[in-house]
Structure 1
Amino acid sequence: MTDNPLDVIDFGDGQPSLSLLPVDALRTAADHCLTRGDAALLQYGADQGDVGFRESLARFLTHRYATPVSAEHLMVSAGASQALDLVCTRFTQPGDTILVEEPTYFLALEVFRDHGLRVVGIPLDHDGIQLDALRDALTRHRPALLYTIPSFQNPSGSTMSAARREQLAEVSREHDLLIVADEVYQLLDFGTAPPPPLATHVHAARVLSLGSFSKICAPGLRLGWIQGSPALLEHLLQSGVVHSGGGLNPFVSGVVNSLLDLGLADAGLDALRGIYAERSAVLCRALREELPMATFVEPRGGYFVWVQLSSVMSASQLLPIAAAEGVGYRAGALFSSRDGFASALRLSFAHYDEAALLHGVHRLARAIASYSTSAE
């Protein structure tokens, strides 16, 4: 960062800093890929994705998940957002009800609105989505699907317990409920792995797990995957967009195939986990020192800290005051299906180095002090 006070530190940026993007590793992988001279990489691809890439990805996930993953259960996507849009296209109709965690990823809510879906929020507790509330909603609404972020949830940073994951899979079997698990943060722990992903239940429950190289490598790749049973994947593969497009992102998947085979994806991911752990610790320490009145749970992975301010404060009303101080964030109401969390805000530690994080929290503390003074 620079010391220019006019530089805005925007904690709303849920993306890595430019310094963390693996330019050299991707150059090496691209050279490795292209020197094979396989012109098919530049042709339309297989609908499910290149089998060689899916086999390499399956080996990578088998190692990282510590549970077997088969290429047969993987489909290539153009990132998790495109995958979610495709799932909505193939498994819902306008007017359908879907269930989400409360709070949930705010841009997923935009995707659901684009599809004309009615969104019902289910509250979280310290173990994840509340099953009693979920069962009640299943009885009242007959939803098309449940969207969940099990590990290092966006925005709350919480992680669903192993027992709750097993119980959720059982609910899926009992009610024939499609679970769409956004597991893009599953591999971003800070030293203690979360419970096995919901992807491990694709054989026995209606689960589609979404993964992405955006969080573990580089967002601009626009490359991800969907893990599910062959029957669920086949329904996705009947999409006109998939047929017409000749698969999704075949050239980039070829480059990332080399990244995986050369061990560069593993090395890059391990480096990111260490850096994000350090940045998270810096941000949380600064919050404790500068905002002692705020409450939050220190994350064990992912990108975000979910901060609760005094209940009399409005994070949305605070935003322009914060902007004047040169700091930004995402207000909590964005993450609610029913205009909740007015006094909460989401801060990302992924985009800034330690010095910028400290400056940002200091600016945020000044903004809150100004807000509190003006409200008196």
Structure 2
Amino acid sequence: MDCFGTRAVVATALHTDIIDFGKGQPSLSLLPLAAWRAATDHCLAQGDAGLLQYGADEGDAGFRESLAQFLSRRYAMPVTAAELVVSAGASQALDLVCTRFTRPGDTIFVEAPTYFLALDIFRDHGLQVVGIPIDEDGIRVDALQDALVHHRAAFLYTVPSFQNPSGTTMSAARREQLMAVSRSHDLLIIADEVYQLLDFGSAPPPPLAAYVHTARVLSIGSFSKICAPGLRLGWLHGAPALLNTITQSGLVQSGGGLNPFVSGAMRSLIDLGLADTVLDGLRRVYAERSAVLCRAMRELLPAVTFVEPTGGYFVWAQLPAAQSAAELLPFARTGGVAFHPGTRFSSGGFGRHVRLSFAYYDAPELVEGVLRLAQVPFPSTRQTA
């Protein structure tokens, strides 16, 4: 019997050296080259040489105005340019937050599990990470309150909608509870909201950006997930007082506004209506790919449990009892398939979990990847956490 307790399956004729479900990025076919060419041509036709200058600390004013209008429409709530500061992607925004709001040795809270590369950024800054468990409604506020008894945290890092890796979306009630804790403990909330707009037809609750004037919240957004990663363009959304802390950093003061030229082209993409077209196309494709992956898993991996996502990039799946995802991975690679084991997303636990991304591959490759998983022999019966 194979590692998943499934019946024998027959491999397809699709030949790919390795299908890596760990790739949390869009496939090349989804990158909007033609739309970006049109936007860049439109931007350059304006004759604004200022886009080739260092630029304002907050970012190009025209772009921030267009971004505010875009977010107001997509978030279904008012957003102003004064609430936005441009970043070179979400990762750089998070690094700036760590630089300006923490010192080495500080404690921060994260969800358990959480985005594994964010953990790397926190380690780079010498931060002590305390995990707060989540459930089907998002971060457990009762566990957060218990942690606050024992720790003074510089901030809480959360991915509220279509969480990486679990796909969980924080409920509206849980968001209100979290904001109440933020106010009562003066706790800074760093909301990584890069998946907020990637729903598959049913919008999540309003982003935590909705609370920037009533609690200490900094929301991080990025065009990496809703347009193209190579743009390296994102934003911080917050009250002006918090944003001022960001723009007073040595990095911004030395280099000026972040990514001014790409900001100008993105302004054209928004103003021409192409940003909406690109985003809606991605939502449609990801919904289709998610459905294909989940259908194949239900059919070929019946012993694996998961909740079908309603947005984002990922399926968070649990292997049968007594199986270790980390031990399985090298055998899976030999069989031509890879994934991220759950242990990457926390300092402990989740040994039976795997994160599978459906963003990178078309339907035939997704099905082939599941077929390959279903044929992987399991190396051990040692019980895992």
- TM-score class normalised by the smaller sequence: over 0.9
1:118-141 Cα distance to aligned partner (Å, 9 max, x none): 000000011111111100111110
**Normalised TM-score (structure 2):** 0.95
Counterpart of 2:375 in structure 1 is 366
Partner AA of 2:115 in structure 1: Y
SS at match of 1:371: coil
Matches within 5 A, 1:251-266: 251-266=261-276
Q: Out of 307, 311, 336, which is 1:297 matched to?
A: 307
Q: In structure 1, how many angstroms separate the alpha carbons of the residues matched to 2:149 and 2:80?
A: 34
Residues 55 and 6 of structure 1, relative CA distance in 2, 3 Å threshold: closer
Say whether residues 1:184 and 2:194 are aligned partners. Answer: yes
Q: Out of 320, 340, 354, which is 1:345 matched to?
A: 354
SS at match of 1:282: helix
Q: Out of 164, 187, 204, which is 1:194 matched to?
A: 204
Counterpart of 1:219 in structure 2 is 229
Counterpart of 2:365 in structure 1 is 356
Q: In structure 2, how many angstroms separate the alpha carbons of the residues matched to 1:43 and 1:125?
A: 47
Partner AA of 2:122 in structure 1: F
Matches within 5 A, 1:69-84: 69-84=79-94
Cα deviation for residue 238 of structure 1 reads 0.8
Matches within 5 A, 1:1-376: 5-336=15-346, 338-367=347-376, 370-371=377-378, 375=381
SS at match of 2:169: coil
Q: In structure 1, how many angstroms separate the alpha carbons of the residues matched to 2:171 and 2:228?
A: 28
Q: Is the 8 A contact 1:329 1:346 kept in 2?
A: yes
Cα deviation for residue 38 of structure 1 reads 1.0
Q: Is the 8 A contact 2:323 2:381 kept in 1?
A: no
Q: In structure 2, how many angstroms separate the alpha carbons of the residues matched to 1:326 and 1:243?
A: 48
Cα deviation for residue 210 of structure 1 reads 0.2
Q: In structure 1, how many angstroms separate the alpha carbons of the residues matched to 2:13 and 2:96?
A: 44
Cα deviation for residue 310 of structure 1 reads 1.5
1:310-336 Cα distance to aligned partner (Å, 9 max, x none): 231111111111001110100100001
1:325-366 Cα distance to aligned partner (Å, 9 max, x none): 110100100001x22101100000000000000000000111
Point out where structure 2 has 5 or more consecutive residues left out of the alignment.
1-11
1:186-206 Cα distance to aligned partner (Å, 9 max, x none): 000000000000000000000
Partner AA of 2:57 in structure 1: D
Cα deviation for residue 6 of structure 1 reads 4.7
Q: In structure 1, how many angstroms separate the alpha carbons of the residues matched to 2:15 and 2:263?
A: 41
**Normalised TM-score (structure 1):** 0.97
1:158-183 Cα distance to aligned partner (Å, 9 max, x none): 00000111111111111000000000
Residues 172 and 292 of structure 1, relative CA distance in 2, 3 Å threshold: same
SS at match of 2:132: strand
Cα deviation for residue 375 of structure 1 reads 4.7
Cα deviation for residue 247 of structure 1 reads 1.0
Q: Is the 8 A contact 2:322 2:381 kept in 1?
A: no
Q: Is the 8 A contact 2:109 2:156 kept in 1?
A: yes
Q: In structure 2, how many angstroms separate the alpha carbons of the residues matched to 1:46 and 1:10?
A: 41
1:139-161 Cα distance to aligned partner (Å, 9 max, x none): 11010000000000000000000
Cα deviation for residue 5 of structure 1 reads 3.2
How many equivalent residue pairs? 371
Q: In structure 2, how many angstroms separate the alpha carbons of the residues matched to 1:358 and 1:5?
A: 12
Q: Is the 8 A contact 2:66 2:271 kept in 1?
A: yes
Q: In structure 1, how many angstroms separate the alpha carbons of the residues matched to 2:221 and 2:168?
A: 18
* Higher deviation after alignment, 13-22 or 32-41: 32-41
Q: In structure 1, how many angstroms separate the alpha carbons of the residues matched to 2:364 and 2:99?
A: 43
Point out where structure 1 has 5 or more consecutive residues left out of the alignment.
none
Cα deviation for residue 223 of structure 1 reads 0.1
Q: In structure 2, how many angstroms separate the alpha carbons of the residues matched to 1:29 and 1:361?
A: 38
Q: In structure 2, how many angstroms separate the alpha carbons of the residues matched to 1:11 and 1:220?
A: 20
Q: In structure 2, how many angstroms separate the alpha carbons of the residues matched to 1:86 and 1:257?
A: 23
Q: In structure 2, how many angstroms separate the alpha carbons of the residues matched to 1:287 and 1:209?
A: 34
Q: Is the 8 A contact 1:102 1:121 kept in 2?
A: yes
Q: In structure 2, how many angstroms separate the alpha carbons of the residues matched to 1:201 and 1:339?
A: 31
Which has the larger helix fraction?
A: 1
Q: In structure 2, how many angstroms separate the alpha carbons of the residues matched to 1:290 and 1:71?
A: 49
